[in-house]
Amino acid sequence: MGKGELTRQSILKHAASLATEVGLDGLTIGRLADDLGLSKSGLFAHFQSKELLQLAAMEFAAQRFIDTAVKPSLSAPRGEPRVKAFFENWLAWPKKSGLPAGCFFIAVATELDDQPGPVRDRLVQLQRDWLDAIAQGVRIAVSEGHFRKDVDPDQFAYETYGIMLVTHHFTRLLRDPKADTRARKAFESLLAKSRKPT
């Protein structure tokens, strides 16, 4: 990895952190350059526009998410254990991401939902992929006989994502230390109603 690629990575790491705090729009080239001890133009040269910088930062965060949350879950046993792994690894992901200030994707979701363009498009796709991964895990759990046959995988993913969103909300906005406990309780009852009756 050459020197250019090295600084580029350090820029992206900081950009992803900063965007998680102040949003992709609040992310500013001057601020970024100051923090990293670079000149504005020197930093800018790594990307051709701010939009490409935003896209690159999102790609960086996506890669982190895949490495620290998705892949480890996929090595869990098929069925309910893997579904639980998805959930637990998501819960742990803000800490293990190496980025402060919570989940990058939730942080930028609301600011992008009315701003058309490639950045929004990429986020939508990433969200769909993540939801599909959960739904797919549920489908496997059904076929493994862990979950009832009438469980709707997309509905399950929907409700799971709701728990994730509200957990983030309670943790970061309301600073509620019980958020994780409540999250697990909610998810546990989601699991309970999906399991086969004994």
Partner DNA sequence: TGCCAAACCGAACGTTCGTACTATTATTCG
Partner DNA sequence: CGAATAATAGTACGAACGTTCGGTTTGGCA
Give me the residues that bind DNA (CB under 7 A), please. Answer: 2-5, 7-8, 27-31, 33, 37-46, 48-51
Nearer Cβ to a second copy (62/106): 106
Q: In this complex, which beta carbon is closest to a second copy, that of residue 32 or of residue 38? A: 32
- Among DNA, a second copy, none, what binds residue 2 when CB lies within 5 to 8 Å by partner kind? DNA
In the bound state with DNA, the residue whose beta carbon lies nearer, of 50 and 120, is 50
Q: How far apart are CA 142 and CA 198, in angstroms?
A: 15
Residues 134 and 156: their CA atoms lie apart, in Å, by 8
CB 160 within 8 A of CB 134: yes
Axis crossing angle, helix 104-112 with helix 3-26, rounded to the nearest 10: 50
Q: Name residue 7's amino acid.
A: T
d(CA 157, CA 5): 37
170 makes contact, choosing from DNA, a second copy, none, with CB < 5 to 8 Å by partner type, with: a second copy
Joined tokens for residue 28: 């500013």
Can you tell me which residue has the tokens 């490495």? 67
Give the interface with a second copy as residue ranges (CB under 8 A): 21-23, 25-26, 101-102, 106-115, 120, 123-124, 127-128, 154-155, 158-159, 161-163, 165-167, 169-170, 172-174, 182, 185-186, 189, 193
The partner in contact with residue 27, picked from a second copy, DNA, none with C-beta cut-offs of 5 to 8 angstroms by kind, is DNA
Name the residue nearer to DNA (CB basis): 53 or 83.
Answer: 53
Burial class (CB within 10 angstroms; exposed 0-12, middle 13-18, buried 19+) of 172: middle
Give min distance, CB of 101 to a second copy, in A.
6
